[in-house]
Amino acid sequence: MATTLAKAADGTGTASQAARIEHVSKSFAGPAGQQLVLDDISLDVAPGEFVTLLGASGCGKSTLLNLVAGLDRPTAGTITTDGRPALMFQEHALFPWLTAGKNIELALRLRGVAKSERRDKAEELLELVRLKGAYGKRVHELSGGMRQRVAMARALAQESPLLLMDEPFAALDAITRDVLHDELTRIWRETRLSVLFVTHNVREAVRLAERVVLLSSRPGRIAREWRVDIPHPRRIEDTAVAELSVEITEQLRGEIRRHGQH
Amino acid sequence: MASTDTTPAAKDGDSLAGLEAGLDALETVQQGRRPFRQTFLEKILPPVTAILLVLVVWQALVSFRIVDDPTKLPAPADVWNVVRDAWLQGELLGYIWTSVSRGLLGFFFALLIGTPLGLLVARVKFVRAAIGPILSGLQSLPSVAWVPPAVIWLGLNNSMMYAVILLGAVPSIANGLVSGVDQVPPLFLRAGRTLGATGLKGTWHIVLPAALPGYVAGLKQGWAFSWRSLMAAEIIASFPDLGVGLGQLLENGRNASDMAMVFEAILLILIVGIAIDLLIFSPLERWVLRSRGLLVRS
């Protein structure tokens, strides 16, 4: 029942995994009594690993991400993470009363970074997401893709070894999304972060991840896992990506069909 | 997957950077400044026309003897003369300053009380259940109603005036903050929590700035209520020792059956109320909304 927050592992540390989800269940009080949303989920994310959680509506993937982020508590089971994970949402969730740079500085400030270092760090992070010169821009002056990149820089400012992403590109147009896929892959490979990425887009999952985890719906259970060994740089049009996507989609459709059978 | 960061990969990175720069440029909207001519035509000309029209109708009513009684309706020029005389005798600024200083000081106290009160109602469930409904109910109580009890409790003095202003403005300011806090998108709170802004830090870094638009709207309304309450208090409880403010000026005009003086007082009350709003609260509101991209140019 306890949610343990293990401290950063320095060689002798306790957390050999970036995230360890052990027998986690979650139920909510619904109109028909307690409703089980997640059922006995066990999943590890290794340091530096990129895992996508894939599932149809009602599989509880966002619920699981909230649990890992510490925004909610599991009904049963334990979740161990290496410090407080960073989280990116489908909406950019940038604060409109701050400039792009100050949004990042707020994350640094809340982490206890000294005032004198914040500005340089924020500029550095903006450069990492290729938004040099956007420091003084207001959120509403940025395009959708730029906002998500600032949100990514803000998440990276937390310097958490684990980045959780809740369908962060779902609201973007196809061209921008494709570019941000490349961008995320590049940043992940540069920083060696562990990423747990939630999506309902099979190709996105295959294109980005080293491991794809398929969740069944109502309640969410782990249905199957695939290891993705396609070399980088990948493209959404690659045959290898397409082939694996077809296989995963078949399985996903099978999971969805089960719900129409009674 | 072992990475093979050789020339092709680096080249790929460069082309990605170029692609992104292109997308950013395409999707960013350029905004220019509005030319003065347009501002004049859209913002300045319409109200000036409306005021001129009122003056023309007023003058016509007097000139064509439709209202043929200067004790009922003085000519615009008569009112102007009264205002000019007051100015030349050095009394005009005195009237205005007496009322404005009372109004602003009262508003300042209302701000000091209303802000923590609003925060308390917004954030503490018990307090909200206890006094939330009373606070919003108080807004619909005309503050004139507070003048008789204030006079009985405090006597005919300045504290009575401030008490009436407080009772009029505090509910507006507190309610503005409460509705501002209620309208903070839950996403901001969640985002704040993942960044480590919980408890007091969350209130300071997330809730208060997010609630600012509602708070400023409350301040604006609070000022309107302060000014109205003060005028009610000055008219009802006029007493020579208190110094002549705009409310007393109006009451003096009525006692002297001097309609030009009554008009002078009404106009000054209106102008001062609007001027404070235009000089302080409207720019504040526009700045808050514009910096968040919430102000759509019309």
Give the closest of A107, A131, A210 to B195, CB-based: A107
Mean pLDDT throughout A157-186?
Answer: 89
A10 vs B154, residue with greater confidence: B154
**B195·A158 Cβ contact <8 A:** yes
Query: Over 80: is that where the pLDDT of A13 sits?
Result: no
- Radius of gyration of chain B, Cα coordinates, nearest whole angstrom: 27
Asked whether A219 and A39 are in contact (CB, 8 A), the reply is yes
Given a cut of 50, the residues of chain B with pLDDT beneath it are 1-9, 298
Q: Is B190 on the interface with A (CB under 8 A)?
A: yes
**A71·B193 Cβ contact <8 A:** yes
pLDDT at A63: 87
Least Cα separation, residue B111 to chain A (angstroms): 22
10 Å Cβ neighbour count for A120?
9
Q: Give chain A's mean pLDDT.
A: 85
Query: Over 80: is that where the pLDDT of A11 sits?
Result: no
**A69·B194 Cβ contact <8 A:** yes
H-state helical runs in B73-146:
76-88, 92-123, 125-138
What are the structure tokens assigned to A234, written together?
Answer: 């990948």
Query: Over 60: is that where the pLDDT of A125 sits?
Result: yes
With CA atoms as reference, the chain B residue closest to A136 would be B291
Partners of B187 on chain A (C-beta within 8 Å) are 89, 91, 93
* B171/B105 Cα distance (integer angstroms): 17
Give the closest of B196, B209, B293 to A138, CB-based: B293
Q: Assess if CATH 3.90.190.20 describes domain A16-85+160-262.
A: no
Domain spans of chain A, in order of start: 16-85+160-262, 95-159
**A91·B187 Cβ contact <8 A:** yes
pLDDT at A3: 37
Partners of B21 on chain A (C-beta within 8 Å) are 130
**B12·A233 Cβ contact <8 A:** yes
Q: Is the full-model pTM beyond 0.90?
A: no
pLDDT at A5: 39
Closest CA to B22 of A179, A148, A203, A65: A179
Q: Please name each of the domains of chain B with its CATH number.
A: 89-291 (1.10.3720.10)
* A258/B16 Cα distance (integer angstroms): 42
Left (φ > 0), alpha (ψ -120 to 50) or beta: where does A11 sit?
Answer: left
With CA atoms as reference, the chain B residue closest to A147 would be B24
* B262/B257 Cα distance (integer angstroms): 8
Mean pLDDT throughout A64-87?
Answer: 88
Q: Where are the beta strands (DSSP E) in chain A?
A: 5-6, 19-30, 33-45, 50-54, 76-82, 86-88, 162-166, 194-199, 211-216, 221-227
Query: Over 50: is that where the pLDDT of A190 sits?
Result: yes
10 Å Cβ neighbour count for B290?
13
Asked whether B128 and B111 are in contact (CB, 8 A), the reply is no
Least Cα separation, residue B93 to chain A (angstroms): 39
3-state secondary structure of A239: helix
Mean pLDDT throughout A234-249?
Answer: 85
Asked whether A151 and A95 are in contact (CB, 8 A), the reply is no
Give the closest of B20, B191, B197 to A179, CB-based: B20
Mean pLDDT throughout A228-239?
Answer: 84
